[in-house]
A = this chain, B = another copy of it.
Amino acid sequence: MDSSATNRPAMDDGTADLADVGRRLRALREERGLSLSELARRAGVGKATLSGLEAGTRNPTLETLWAVTGELGVPLTALFTRPPGQSTEPDSPVFHGESVEATLLRVFDDETVTYELYQVRFPAGTAQTSPPHPPGVTEHLTVFAGTLLAGPIGSLREAGPGDYVTWRSDVPHGYRVIGGQDVHASLLLRYPRR
């Protein structure tokens, strides 16, 4: 499905498959001591729906998810956010250790422009290049910890804690971590609209 040429940072929103969502939902229900039947009745959904949802054999509708999470009193995000403690699989450190993690903090829509604010983490040793974005897009990186080179390929700039780097991202650009420390940074993407 995603086999196209799109290259994007690995979004750590805990995106999982239907089975994971089902497990999380069941855990949330059982924490509250609710039976499946009772939660289904309160949320106004069928028992079959909830049963299949928790088993991971159904592909729920957004309204169904809203109904259930609303009754559980949790935001929809709770179904996709990993509970603390099992954030990463212990037996697959390679994938987590070598990919950039980006979490979308905010999206700001304006009449003429949109901003996306990410918190990103580059593990030590990371080097990644990104293809050009549409014209006019700019990136604004504020470093919190660690040091890296970032910017357009060929004119990378060094940025350490507290530093701020910006560049037009309609050309190939990338990042390379310097030193043995992970880099934490805030990345602001600016998308002007015609």
Contact = CB atoms under 8 A, between A and B. Distances in A.
Interface stretch (A149-157, A160-168, A172-180): A160-168
Nearest to A31: B191
Given A11-B105, A27-B109, A104-B78, A162 B134 contact: no
B114 A77 contact: no
A7 to B, nearest CB: 9
A119 B80 CA distance: 18
B83 A109 contact: yes
A60 B61 contact: yes
Interface string A18-52: 10010010011011110000000011100000000
A1 B142 contact: no
B71 A11 contact: no
A71 B186 contact: no
A1 B105 contact: no
Interface string A65-96: 11100110111111011011000000000000
Contacts of A161: 113, 190
A78 B73 CA distance: 20
B145 A70 contact: no
A193 B62 contact: no
A52 to B, nearest CB: 13
Contacts of A164: 140, 142, 164, 166
Contacts of A33: 134
Given A42-B4, A162-B190, A193-B31, A78 B107 contact: yes
A193 B71 contact: no
A13 B108 contact: no
Nearest to A188: B142
A164 B141 CA distance: 10
Nearest to A41: B4
B61 A84 contact: no
